[in-house]
């Protein structure tokens, strides 16, 4: 497994299609988790100007559900 892989993508299944906050080295991204793979997450941001943001797993510090 490479360093850029998400440690446990299966654990993200419960976050799919739910509102999340993804903390990265550059700040926070808020939106709905739409997809994930071994090396990336796709978040549909709450900001209507941005359709989909792809985040490399190496940049992710944590993911939390929004209530």
Give the whole-number percent of the chain exceeding pLDDT 90.
31
Does the 9-65 domain belong in CATH 3.40.605.10?
no
Confidence check: pLDDT of 2 > 90: no
Interior/surface letters 36-59, b for 16+ CB within 10 angstroms, e for the rest: beeebbebbeeeeeeeeeebebee
Confidence check: pLDDT of 59 > 90: no
How high is the pLDDT of residue 1? 40
Q: What does the pLDDT average to over 32-46?
A: 90
Rounded Cα gap, residues 22 and 20, in angstroms = 6
Rounded Cα gap, residues 27 and 11, in angstroms = 22
Give the whole-number percent of the chain exceeding pLDDT 70.
81
39: helix, strand or coil: coil
């Amino acid at each position: 497994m490479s360093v850029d892989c998400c440690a446990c993508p299966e654990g993200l299944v419960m976050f799919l299609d739910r509102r999340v906050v993804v903390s990265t080295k550059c700040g926070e991204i808020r939106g709905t988790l739409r997809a994930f793979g071994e090396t990336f997450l796709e978040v549909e941001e709450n900001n209507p100007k941005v359709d989909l943001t792809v985040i490399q797993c190496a940049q992710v510090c944590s993911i939390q559900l929004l209530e």
